[in-house]
Amino acid sequence: MLLLKRVGLALAATLLILLVLEVVVRVAGVAPPPRPLQDGRGQTKVDDGVMRYRNLPGGKVTWTLQQTRDSEPYQVVENINSLGLRGVREIRPTKPDGVLRVACVGDSFTYGHGVNDDETWPHQLEQALATRLGVGRVEVLNFGVSAYEITQEVRQIETMVMRFDPDLVLLCWFFNDPALREGPGFEMEEAPWVVRTFTHRPGSWHTLLRERSHLADTLIDRIFTPTYYRFYARTRSSLYDKSKPSWEKSVRGIRRAQAVTAAAGVDFAMLLYPVMRRIDGKLISHDFYRQVVELCDELGIVNYDLEPVFDGYDVDALRVHAYNAHPNGEAHGLVGEAVADFILAQQLLPVDAPR
């Protein structure tokens, strides 16, 4: 009887402590914000064994976000025009007289996942070039498609981008670009138990617990997030092993993009957009992008590693949301300005040509 009483008191004390901690966490406002809510559709399948999917013509995705649990929700809208390009502006494949065109190709970092149309780096690049060269002198077209990798991006250049008669093609590389979706060389090590157990799954016990308890949400997040990103960095970095099919595929893709644009007499350059998260003081992609830069230099491809653009900035404040690691509008603005200067410094556009 005495033992039961002691156990009961211990449980009561534990529950009281947890209740007090729950109140403290709620008052302090340190719990992660609610997850973004998505409405609408932005992609559609295509009958192409390489591309597999593309932006949905006329598609629209609306995100509802809160940066903290107590802040007012706001919305972000991703529009796609009738040809599948990001934004509401309709573009004719035939280039207007006197206008220079820049085609931006890439994945979700180019598409602008989680930001409004006018916050993407291609849109802000056009604004930056307008400031430098005059309004209407340069059109910047956003061909970005979320989750594309290098093979899909090159196929897009071949089948779609070149129809728009660009003067310059910018291929924006991201850390995931060497990814192999299937087939030989597609190996993924088992995730740590923390990642396997606490990855967000609607309706799971831990997701329901996190939705109801700020304390549980905070504790799980503090353990899960750094563990996940170390796992992410380790698995993606293996894609850069020069002996693996993933890197061989990347080299073929970059060479092919260079060849396709050269055959059409179009200038070609590569941008390297870093992962917006630091581990042990440096961005996750830092060491591996050196390898991509070396390849570009070897092939004679003009390239720009964008990591220095973010020197001195808190990259944690430059992401869309705690649960969306993509760059926000401010980050894309920094990139747009920097790329405009890069284009002009490298003389990648014939700006002196008669209009």
Q: Is the pLDDT of residue 104 over 70?
A: yes
- Tens-place pLDDT, residues 222-259: 999 999 999 999 888 889 999 999 999 999 999 999 99
Q: Is the pLDDT of residue 324 over 90?
A: yes
Strand 168-173 to 278-279 pairing:
unpaired
Q: Please answer whether residues 296 and 244 qualify as being in contact, where contact means their C-beta atoms are separated by less than 8 angstroms.
A: no
The neighbouring-strand residues paired with 77 are 62
Residue 7's pLDDT band, with cuts at 50, 70 and 90, is confident
Q: What percent of the chain has a predicted confidence (pLDDT) above 70?
A: 96
Supply the pLDDT for residue 184: 45
Supply the pLDDT for residue 185: 42
Mean predicted lDDT score pLDDT of the chain: 92
Within 10 angstroms of residue 252's Cβ, the number of other Cβ atoms is 13
Q: Please answer whether residues 99 and 138 qualify as being in contact, where contact means their C-beta atoms are separated by less than 8 angstroms.
A: yes
Within 10 angstroms of residue 289's Cβ, the number of other Cβ atoms is 22
Dihedral sign for Cα 296, 300, 303, 307, please.
positive
- Tens-place pLDDT, residues 131-156: 999 999 999 999 999 999 999 999 99
Supply the pLDDT for residue 182: 58
Structure tokens at 149: 């990798």
Q: Please answer whether residues 335 and 306 qualify as being in contact, where contact means their C-beta atoms are separated by less than 8 angstroms.
A: yes
- Tens-place pLDDT, residues 201-223: 989 998 998 989 998 899 999 99
Helix, strand, coil shares, percent, the chain, to 5:
45, 20, 35
State the Cα–Cα distance between residues 141 and 143, nearest whole angstrom: 6
